[in-house]
Structure 1
Amino acid sequence: MGPKKGKEKPGKGGKEAPAAKGAMGPPPKPKKIPPPPACFRPEDIARFKEVFKLHDEDNIDKVPIDDIPIMLRRLGFNPKTAEVQSMFEQFLEDDLVDTVEFHEFLFMIEAKMGMGDDFEIGIVRAIRDLGHDDEETGFVDFETFREELMSWGEPLGEVEFMDWIKLAIKDKTLNMEDGRFCYGKFIENMNNKDQRFFKEPVNFFKLDQKTLAEMAMKKAQEEKEEQERKEAEKRARDEARRQRMIAEGLLPPD
């Protein structure tokens, strides 16, 4: 009886004949890309994609692993070395890869957000409060803010402050005619400085941002204490009102 249809005759010694030259197996299944984290809105993902494409110089939908800390700083974070290493271990396939894909970058952002380091927001709030922008217009008087910053906590010197002024004028976030300073846009531009000029966009102004972060934390503590004081006063008023109604027979005594 001849061999079954579709099967090769065994070679000498009972071994299977080698596969025909050029024969190929089934193509590998495409890698399933997980959906982005549910906490991100479409506009968030668009912003993250914009930062990602800036570093995807070869247009291969991958960025160098060494660029991740800088990319996170562009988004306003201040990642520590240990945090970055932890994200690599958690979201990359192994420790031999030297590139990061977009979906991996998204999960790294989500992880960093969970580490309690909303650096940019704290700085914006600090400048708003120092510049007395009580109505949250996005503008402060630059000289008022300058006086505060040069006398608060870890003061900035004249030379250090000149860097702020130069960048603010260049970015058109400081109007020299009326002295108005668009602080939100300035911080965004400061964090987005091209790495060709400043390897660490945020760290170029590290002293300034450290000082501002300290201001923001102090302000948050003051607000917390003020809220607790108001709540205590409200409880005292409510209790006084209750005691008065008991005395007037409107409520039964305890």
Structure 2
Amino acid sequence: MRSLTAPELLGAWEAGHPHAAPGRALALLCSAWPEHSPGELARLPVGVRDSLLLALREATFGSRLVGLVPCPACGEQVELAFGVEDVRVAPVSPPPEVLSVDQEGHAVRFRLPDSRDLAAVMARSGGHGQRSLLSRCVVEASREGTLMDAGALPDGVVRAVAEAMEAADPQARVELATTCPACGHGWAATFDIAEFFWREVEAWAQRTLREVDALARLYGWSEERILAMSPWKRQRYLELAGA
């Protein structure tokens, strides 16, 4: 896996900035794999997408990840420091296009969620509602042989489908055992590589634009020339200029 260059990172940041989280994740993937169409990448199961994002993040920014998460008990900001290997989940096997669950007299055939589904659910409800997501992914649902609407499935069946999705695409849901040093509360903190990686890219882009602006004003260099320099070299010029 190669790292994204400075121009590619800025291009992905610019392309993804107007969009919600699923579109931003796709912008990063499109920059790394231009040989694939956006439609192809959007159809990847979420866990497969996140595996690629994790590998891309490691190649671009390294294997160490550090972030803050609020304690749900006291609100204290807790630092999480871990490695890529700590959140990389080995796939059980290539996920099939269609899976099935038989539960409580119901038979459900479904596919795994992808970026299109996440974007649609977020646009409609502002979140990742389990039932809304499931309704998009159900191919066919029936009760004792009679077809039915996916929205009418009982809660137990919905849970069974969600569990089957998670088992088939485990990278889609990653949790870290966390303990608050202030109050001692323990919980499983969800780690979302798409959100985490995007925040890093946004912070990097803002910092890089400031560097480009300073050097362009001082030396009259183009953005292309400045971005072609290594970060180390850019910093040396900024130090020499007292910026």
Do the structures match in fold with TM over 0.5? no
Q: Which has the larger radius of gyration?
A: 1
Structure-1-length-normalised TM-score: 0.28
* Greater fraction strand: 2
**Higher RCO (CA-CA < 8 Å; seq separation 6+):** 2
Structure-2-length-normalised TM-score: 0.29
